[in-house]
Structure 1
């Protein structure tokens, strides 16, 4: 390994350690009041050393969002991989289950809510979140477009609307779990998966030219 590669790896590792410390601070005291000196103390660094890696708190928040977004996209990509012998509907059910589990993860849920709250009062954090959401939409659209079994012939704009609609439901699920801590999480998970499967079936039926009345007789 070259000296340049070792230096680059050491730099990245130190940045990750600082971001780890920032995440622990957020879980302890929230994000809005978080200061760089808090992160320095938690990570065992001097404040001056923190500035060698991040110019301000917003850059650390951006690193947190980047980490969480990358983890989510990796989950989406892995869930789209085919398993030999698996039927298309079985794979869709598995993908939906993976997404619901990702959104119901307690640590991911708390961090996302902290970041969203900060975005309401910090324009820079809002820009970071908007960029992350755009990246997620583009990635999911790309995964769907490259799925030979996906019978969805719509524009990217309509696809984005559908993705945002589903994510809105999942984000709401996060909030519901936060404010209803005694709720049966297993039942909530099963309910969410069931409802998302209904949406998927409707999109498939619509692509075949069927109407709402054709699919759901009341």
Structure 2
């Protein structure tokens, strides 16, 4: 391993340390309420060290969003590249998705990012760019699933409803954390099977 590789690895580790600390602070105080001093203290660093890796709080949020987008990209690739038909692969992942999205820490962080986007145009732009990338990945996936004859408008509408289902689980994870997740996963499978395999809506 070269010296430059070691330095890059160290920098990535330090950035991840800061992102993890900022995530914890956001869950506790919200991004709006979490100061750089609080984030630095949670990371065990000085404020000056934080600024060596991130220009501002929005840059830290961008790193959090980029991490989530990367995880989502891996999931889409796994769904398309596995041995199962794509629809079966999606349905198989429902139980894991419910468990992940109902997780209180994950749900709280996601909602804090969305809340910050509602009042901060810079964060809103970051989130919308990530959402556009995710929607494109989703549409690429749905090409392998939707019935023949579904046009682009229909495909995008079904994709949007699919996103509502998954993103809405984070809200439910906060409001009703003790839900029967196993039962929810079974119902979700049924809903998604219908959503993705039903004949196209006639206009």
CA distance 1:89–1:142, change in 2 (3 Å) = closer
Matches for 1:110-189 after TM superposition, within 5 Å: 110-145=108-143, 147=144, 151-189=147-185
- Are 1:69 and 1:132, in contact at CA under 8 Å, matched by a contact in 2? yes
- The answer on 1:61 being equivalent to 2:61 is yes
TM-score norm. by structure 2 comes to: 0.86
Cα–Cα, structure 1 residues 93 and 169, in superposed 2: closer, same or farther, change >3 Å?
Answer: closer
Report the number of matched residues. Answer: 203
Report the equivalent of 2:78. Answer: 78
Q: Would you say 1:91 and 2:89 are equivalent positions?
A: yes
Give the structure, 1 or 2, with the largest relative contact order (CA under 8 Å, sep 6 or more).
2
> What residue is the counterpart of 1:5 in the other structure?
5
Offset at residue 182 of structure 1 (A)? 3.6
Deviations 1:146-197 (A, max 9, x none): x4x7645545554333212211122223212321234323222222222111
* Distance verdict in 2 for CA 1:5–1:78, change over 3 Å: same
1:14 to 1:180, Cα distance in 2 relative to 1, 3 A? same
RMSD: 2.5
- Contact 1:76 / 1:99 at 8 angstroms: preserved in 2? no
Tell whether the 8 Å contact from 2:36 to 2:57 is kept in structure 1 after alignment.
yes
Q: d(CA) in 2 for partners of 1:44 and 1:81?
A: 41
Larger Rg: 1
Unmatched segments (≥5 aa) in structure 2: none
Give the counterpart of 1:197 among 190, 193, 196: 193
1:75-112 deviation line (CA, Å, top 9, x unaligned): 222233322xx466533422444544443343322211
- Conservation of the 8 A alpha-carbon contact between 2:146 and 2:155: no
Quote the Cα distance in structure 1 between the aligned partners of 2:163 and 2:44.
37
Q: Quote the Cα distance in structure 2 between the aligned partners of 1:91 and 1:21.
A: 34
Structure 1: which 5+ runs fail to align?
212-218
The 10-residue stretch of structure 1 (26-35 or 45-54) with the greater mean CA deviation from structure 2 = 26-35
CA contact (8 A) 1:96 1:197 kept: no
